[in-house]
Amino acid sequence: AFLDLTGPNEIEGMWKESTTLPCAYVPVEDFVQQTLMWTVVHDQSSGTIFRRDGSGDHILLSEYRDRVSVPKDAPGNVSLHILNLEVSDRGTYTCQVTWRASNNSLITKEITTKMEVVKVAVTKPVIRAGKLGLTVPDGARTSLTCVASGSPPISYRWFRSSPGGKAQLLSSQAELAWDSLRLSDAGMYYCEAENR
């Protein structure tokens, strides 16, 4: 239909990831886009996030600053792109476009999209165990790698345990490497993986 906005009624975004709220129309020759506004209604508040007019693009809500954008060089595509979603971003978003016709009359259309923000299930890191008892020749170059799955970010630590003593922290990387092994490097090594 004539200058109708299209986009979904509902959308699901993932926490800490980015998402796009689609809003588009088919440009018509005698109608020029005057203003574009994206507004939101949250649980407790509402406001205008983004406004595009003759003076440029304006981000009006501080919690969206440096996190939202709308394509510039795609006529008819006025979708809102949001980075690094927070749970508090869930709400009802309205895309409103006003066009000026060749006879100077104005036409305004809008669509609303409800967005939920889902948290991914958090999982503890699980380390993939390697074979026990690695024999490497003196002077060789070698490394031990810790591989863990689970919710990112995962941090790693390598330790060496000495008989009857405390474990000694060797590295905070996933890989523990030696350029040239010495006999004194023999021992028991273990890795610890940690996430939030």
123-140: per-residue pLDDT in tens?
777 877 777 788 888 898
Q: What is the pLDDT of residues 142-181, one digit of tens each?
A: 888 888 887 777 889 999 987 777 888 999 998 999 999 9
Q: Which CATH superfamily is domain 10-118 in?
A: Immunoglobulins (2.60.40.10)
Question: Shortest CA distance to 15 belongs to which of 86, 113, 93, 89?
Answer: 86
**Choice between 162 and 71, residue whose per-residue pLDDT is larger:** 71
3-state secondary structure of 62: helix
Stretch 86-115: mean pLDDT: 94
Ranges of CATH 2.60.40.10 domains, the chain:
10-118, 126-195
**Residue 105: what residue type?**
S
Percent of the chain with pLDDT over 90: 56
pLDDT at 133: 80
SS (H, E, C) 63-93: HHCCCEECCCCCCCECCEEECCCCHHHCEEE
Report the percentage of the chain scoring pLDDT > 70.
Answer: 99
Question: Hey, what are 77's tokens?
Answer: 């595509």
CB 53 within 8 Å of CB 69: no
Q: Which of 32, 26, 67, 33 is nearest to 52 (CA)?
A: 33
Helix or strand holding residue 182 (H, E): none
Residue 1, pLDDT above cutoff 90:
no
Encode pLDDT of 102-115 as tens digits.
999 999 999 999 99
The pLDDT value given to residue 196: 79
C-alpha 139 chain-centroid distance = 44
Q: What is the pLDDT of residues 27-42, one digit of tens each?
A: 998 999 999 999 999 8
pLDDT at 135: 85
What's the topology of domain 126-195?
A: Immunoglobulin-like (2.60.40)
